[in-house]
Structure 1
């Protein structure tokens, strides 16, 4: 495959490779060539990672390579094709899990370094009685001061290692939480709304520039995303307008609210922020629980006036 053929194939799939130069932060370090891949990246992220692409310095919307990857990417696309949205989500979960594992291992190493430094700190002054002052002019003065310095230095290293272990553990927990977040109904609903907005934008673009290849790809991706996230929401058991009626109660952000209007994509609740007359629209994917009007009324009669409790 020639370079021109590879460039044509990448253009067909919405990818662009641009040659650039690095901007070194150190004055003595010379710039070097770098190739940036941008455009429609999501269906090809696994391929770009496998080819050695990195996003650390260029952001998630650009992959960087030290050598021109045009032909390698084109050959990979011909061999593997485009990744489905299911595969793209699985790749995100896999990389989040790998990142959490790396952070956990580094945190464990830091905890070991913390414990070792702590023991060194105590061992440095093991032969000195607690509270023993430095005897100025005594033959033990030099040894005593050096022992205190070693103990202080080791304790500082222990504290620094402990702080690093805490930061790494928090990062590991954050990466694990990302996987759980991507399984929540609220996340699925947000992705569906994003896909619907992208479809509307693509349709507006095509109305202005008919048969534009980039906008056709955007429309294709948006329609595939809508189908995927709609199916995921159905599997998650998200409520629909058929499940709701005016006067029902829903639980949202830990509180119960009365439904005053049922909309195609949301319900309108009253007493938002506990202010009389204020309303708010809650997407179906963000409803935490639901009680029909009859059930809520029965509970109110049993427990006293007011909305459902708990």
Structure 2
């Protein structure tokens, strides 16, 4: 690579990366205002959150102009077709690697904290318990220095203990990444959002307006980008639908319109609601302002009935009208744990 040459390369697989810069060469200060930062794991500069996304050309162009104005020779290379499939395995592996790394940080900090604490206790044990500084004695200066070292070691021990707690929290949060990301409720909402995006892309590809926006399909670059987005969305939706199928196979119940009829009861956030109407995506139920009412029916919501809708992914149980009446007769109006 020739001297004073910088390459800004974007692919959807790797994101936007800056090649050819060295530490303290001034390039970092020039491109940082344009969204670039240093990635220690890659050993280079890049734009944050640029993987799996279309190139942010306004950032790339403005960074290139800033570098050229400072005397750099800059080459820009953008290849949107180099991408990775929507395979969560890689993201999960990265999360697991981070969790393992954070666990190591926590263990090291805890070890340093314990070592410093032991050091402080060892020095303190050489001073008789309760003995003050002997002012005027020949040992006064050494005694004061010893007490300062004890205090410093204790402060450092507390600081390392705080670091250990911080990294332990990061480890727990990172370790729960896959469980949270693949939770059934979150997955259903994600699929619904992605399907809405896909419907918009389909309309744009036909030259129609969608989401109050239009796309210029006379522009070949726009058509190509819409084709890429269509492929990405269909691939991602397929992946999450497989997650739903696996959850169902493992016994998770996904409630839907076919599971409820008028007069049934649905358990939602610790309450049982009478179903007034089952819709394709929601249940229509009575609304109550009484926080102590555990069973909400049309009859106990006052003379003026107010309703609201509840998505099926917030439903955690079902009872028929007869089952609910039997529970009430037995004095049990509480949802099961």
Same fold (TM over 0.5): yes
Aligned pairs, number? 272
Partner residue in 2 for 1:160 = 159
Change (3 A) 1:163 1:15: closer
Following superposition, the deviation at residue 174 of structure 1 comes to 0.6
Change (3 A) 1:284 1:302: same
Q: Which runs of 5+ in 2 are unaligned?
A: 1-9, 56-73, 209-215, 249-253, 292-300
Following superposition, the deviation at residue 242 of structure 1 comes to 1.2
Task: Report the TM-score, using the length of structure 2 for normalisation.
Answer: 0.67
Change (3 A) 1:18 1:308: closer
Partner residue in 1 for 2:258 = 242
Distance (Å, rounded) in 2 between the aligned partners of 1:184 and 1:16: 27
Following superposition, the deviation at residue 254 of structure 1 comes to 3.9
Distance (Å, rounded) in 1 between the aligned partners of 2:89 and 2:48: 20
Partner residue in 1 for 2:190 = 191
Following superposition, the deviation at residue 220 of structure 1 comes to 2.6
Alignment partner of 1:131 is 2:130: yes
Change (3 A) 1:68 1:120: farther
Alignment partner of 1:292 is 2:288: no
2:19–2:44: 8 Å Cα contact kept in structure 1? Answer: no
Deviation sequence 1:75-105 (CA, Å, 0-9, x none): x95xxxx5443x2x12222111111111111
Partner residue in 2 for 1:3 = none
Following superposition, the deviation at residue 293 of structure 1 comes to 3.1
Distance (Å, rounded) in 1 between the aligned partners of 2:124 and 2:13: 66
Partner residue in 2 for 1:61 = 50
Change (3 A) 1:273 1:147: farther
Following superposition, the deviation at residue 221 of structure 1 comes to 2.3
1:269–1:282: 8 Å Cα contact kept in structure 2? Answer: yes
Change (3 A) 1:14 1:278: farther
As a proportion of its length, which structure holds more helix? 1
Following superposition, the deviation at residue 303 of structure 1 comes to 1.6
Distance (Å, rounded) in 1 between the aligned partners of 2:178 and 2:331: 40
Following superposition, the deviation at residue 228 of structure 1 comes to 3.1
2:264–2:321: 8 Å Cα contact kept in structure 1? Answer: yes
Secondary structure at the aligned position of 2:277 is classed as strand
Following superposition, the deviation at residue 173 of structure 1 comes to 0.7
Partner residue in 2 for 1:202 = 201
Indicate which of 220, 226, 235 corresponds to 1:215: 226
Partner residue in 2 for 1:265 = 281
Change (3 A) 1:293 1:230: farther
1:198–1:219: 8 Å Cα contact kept in structure 2? Answer: no
Secondary structure at the aligned position of 1:247 is classed as coil
Following superposition, the deviation at residue 158 of structure 1 comes to 0.6
Deviation sequence 1:255-308 (CA, Å, 0-9, x none): 43333321212223333664755544333233233333332222112125x464
Secondary structure at the aligned position of 1:257 is classed as strand
Change (3 A) 1:111 1:127: same
Distance (Å, rounded) in 1 between the aligned partners of 2:181 and 2:199: 24
Partner residue in 1 for 2:168 = 169
2:182–2:243: 8 Å Cα contact kept in structure 1? Answer: no
Q: Which runs of 5+ in 1 are unaligned?
A: 1-9, 39-48
